[in-house]
Amino acid sequence: MLGGAGLYGLGPSGAVASSHREAPLIAADPAVDNTDLYAFVSPDRPDYVTFVANWIPFEEPNGGPNFYPFATDATYNINVDNDGDAKPDAVFRWKFKTIDKRGTGTFLYNNGPVTSLDDENLLVRQTYTMESSFDGAPFKTRVSNGPVAPSRVGPASMPDYAKLRDQASIQLPGGWKIYAGQADDPFFLDLRVFDLLYGGDLSETGQDTLAGYNVNTIVLQVPFKDVALNGDAARNPNIGIWTTTDRPRVRIAGGGSSGDRVQVSRLGNPLVNEVVVPAGLKDAFNASRPDQDAKNPTIVKRVTNPEVPQLIEKIYGIPAPATPRNDLVEIFLTGITTKAGGPIKVDLNSQLDNKDVNPKRFVPSEQLRLNLTVPVTAEPNRLGVLAGDLQGFPNGRRLTDDVVDIEVQALEGAAQTGKIVDALAAGDKVDANDQEFSGTFPYVALPNGVGVNTGGDGVKPAAAGGSSSGGPALTPAGFASGSGGGMPATIAAAAVGVAASAGLGLLVLAWLWRRRVRLADQRTQRF
């Protein structure tokens, strides 16, 4: 996280991981808080690109009885710029609807085990409408009443969550794949960076602060031709991506809204808004557009003369690289290209390298940029481009890319020198996610089902990788596997038993309450 701060000073800063609660206003509205964005060439479908966009930070698995629905008055967007003018050329947007059957009869999210998305025991469910627009054309509805995987209540309520996720993963004519629902938070890092940068002596490292938490995720997979300039990824391989969330300008207490819609959250590269941008600009960044970035002198200064290297120098005595930091401008504002005149002499992922781009229309802006034609790496390296793995961050972002360690090194000048800073080589000592990712769509791990404060690693399905679709767990041919760990089997079994007993107890309690209400009604009728 610290690395992200030094890398790029765009946006309003907040408090915790990636874009988790990064700005004052969005911290009070988690349902529309973009937490992370990933973009990568699909390892099992190499002519398709996958976008993973997450919202709602720090979802504790036991956070009932309402759990974590998508907001029904918000619009969730994935934006793609393929010509470098910092304006979206492809927009994919989702709107959600909630069906709540609980009424005055029960407080439960479900009143029995849920074995399918249409199970009558599932009392709260969501659907979505998904629309797309290309090159400024009117939006076209692609999906109506799309299924949303519910929040994972626990083993008694949802004994086979992998089945529910498979049912919520749909494929459209033309090859698009979509998943909307809950997932394990794939971001991994040690957040004790705020205690004087890992304790002032790097002693406070090695703890994955986000282990056990979930997020709401939207995963979209589309062919290259649908996002590349002129539909030609061979001539125009580079795209820029960012996510946004819109809400009505006026929200009425007790429900309802009026007025036009306004952007309330934005996310491109990880760790930008929370630790680079000063607090006074964080809310403004969430409401701003990429084509406004280069016109803001405060933002540009935070890139060319970042704050964090100076803090590292004061605390650890590691000299800050000389300014202006044009290497960071190249990484975050223009993409990595020799055409930008920066110190990184590589053509990698800037829209300036697309053959059909007009360079006079190019606008530096904060986007997560990806070269679609870099082949899938046979043996991915968690340090991405810094380790010679050109498919990794900052060329897009894979689920297993260690963006904290990468950005710390880039912050200290590794991208322009080609050398890792040995004193910070260990990073935060959190090198992989606590849950294994899947090798097939939607790739993210199943949501955790055990409370964070139990010290467990969630309830995992029997199959490795957490998928019931038969796909392989991630291997070096796809993504690196997670670090595993977790509590002893006996404690895990006991935790599952306790959770099951608690779920059964709630169901019995609900049944007794309904019976008591019926008896009371009968007595009232008699009198």
- 519 within some domain: no
* β-pair partners for 184: 214
- 492 within some domain: no
| pLDDT in the model for residue 21 | 56
> What range defines the domain where residue 396 resides?
31-424
Mean pLDDT computed over 247-274: 75
The yes-or-no verdict on residue 439 having pLDDT over 90 is: yes
Interior/surface letters 374-404, b for 16+ CB within 10 angstroms, e for the rest: bebbeebbbbbbbeebbbbbbbbbbbbbbbb
- 78 within some domain: yes
Local structure of 409: helix, strand or coil: helix
- 101 within some domain: yes
Note the pLDDT tens digit of each residue in 90-120. 999 999 999 999 999 999 999 999 999 999 9
Task: Tell me which of 469 and 107 has the higher pLDDT.
Answer: 107
Note the pLDDT tens digit of each residue in 68-92. 999 999 999 999 999 999 999 999 9
* β-pair partners for 216: 55, 182
* β-pair partners for 183: 215
| pLDDT in the model for residue 47 | 96
Mean pLDDT computed over 135-147: 98
- 283 within some domain: yes
Contact 128, 143 (CB under 8 A): yes
- 489 within some domain: no
The yes-or-no verdict on residue 20 having pLDDT over 90 is: no
- Structural domains of the chain, count: 1
The yes-or-no verdict on residue 61 having pLDDT over 90 is: yes
Contact 206, 429 (CB under 8 A): yes
Contact 293, 365 (CB under 8 A): yes
The yes-or-no verdict on residue 514 having pLDDT over 70 is: no
Helices then strands, counting H and E runs in the chain, come out as 11, 12
- 48 within some domain: yes
* β-pair partners for 263: 246
Q: What count of residues does the chain have?
A: 527
**pTM beyond 0.75, yes or no:** yes
